[in-house]
Chains A and B, each alone.
Chain A
Amino acid sequence: MKPEWDAIVVAAARFFAPLMTLFALLLLGGRVAGSGVGFVGGLAFGLVLMLHALTFGAAVARAAFPAILARSVLALGIVSICAGAGLPGWTYAAQLIEAGAFLSTVGAAALILQVVFGRAPTLQDGEW
């Protein structure tokens, strides 16, 4: 454990992260496809990424979920959405769209968090 990490926050993050992941996956799997649960589940999973980045720092978050992987997940989500939209007669088209929305939201959330949290420390002390 690094000295700059807070022990209580780290313990809380390690305890709550699996529960939040379970909540996101339950939202994705438990709701009816076609009601926009993919985006909602992606937002919930993004909270896990946010908690991880806030607790352990942007560098650790970037190592855990590299930008290339986040972009790949985002691209896969968009392709899934387009594939589902282009096959309306397929039985699992709605599920594919929801899964694509989940992946694209997660990938976008990871990129946004890494950019925002990575940029913040570059501010000069003089600006405060």
Chain B
Amino acid sequence: MSAILPWLALALLGVAIATAIGALLARSLFVSCLHVTVTGVSVAAVVLLLRGGDAAVALALFAAAWTPVLLMAAMLLSARVTKARQARRFPWLGLLSAAVAVVAIWWPLLDVVTSAPLRAQNELPGLSFWLAPPLLVAGIACVGALGFGERGSLRQRV
């Protein structure tokens, strides 16, 4: 039974690629969002089937639970428009970009798979100390932007 799992993962990966292409070719936000959701769920299922551990759980939580709600909110807060039907053209630029991304991921994988695992080296002394203030500033900036951008919804009186 466990021998089928990689093949099932491969099939789901095909589904993910197909729905990702569908998301690019969609003319409306609703269709695009649904394609993105199915892509995320398929990829999460693939990682779970390949025993991805905590990363698989995080991907499943985000793709299967959070993404549909956030995308529905994006649809609700967007105008209902549809792209005009255009003459069919082969998406050369999209395919070329995808090919570049695949090569950029595949090429280092060949070395990672064949080389022996490296022992963890000691980190640079004091690096964590100097990383902490920029992280604090970045976090506070995000909190400030979040509060500033949607101040109305967070008031006590609606």
Contact = CB atoms under 8 A, between A and B. Distances in A.
B54 A47 contact: no
B62 interface: yes
B135 A82 contact: yes
> Interface majority SS on B: helix, strand, loop or mixed?
helix
B63 to A, nearest CB: 11
Interface string A88-128: 10000000000000001000100110111111100100011
Contacts of B79: 127
A79 B54 contact: no
B65 interface: yes
Given A43-B62, A85-B132, A75 B150 contact: no
A10 interface: no
B18 interface: no
A88 B123 contact: yes
Nearest to B158: A59
Contacts of A119: 73, 77, 150, 152-153
How would you classify the secondary structure of chain A's contact residues: helix, strand, loop or mixed?
helix
A37 B55 CA distance: 9
Contact of A118 (B55, B61, B153): B153
A128 B131 CA distance: 48
A115 B153 contact: yes
Interface string B67-79: 0011001001101
Contacts of B91: none
Given A85-B128, A104-B139, A114 B65 contact: no
A115 to B, nearest CB: 4
Q: Of B69, B131, B147, which is in contact with the most chain A CB atoms at under 10 Å from its CB? A: B69
5 contacts: A36-B55, A47-B66, A54-B69, A111-B147, A120-B73
Interface of B: 54-55, 57-58, 61-62, 65-66, 69-70, 73, 76-77, 79-80, 123, 128-129, 131-133, 135-136, 139-140, 142-143, 146-147, 150, 152-154, 156, 158
Interface of A: 27, 31, 35-37, 39-40, 43-44, 46-47, 50, 54, 58-59, 62, 67, 71, 74-75, 78-79, 81-83, 85-88, 104, 108, 111-112, 114-120, 123, 127-128
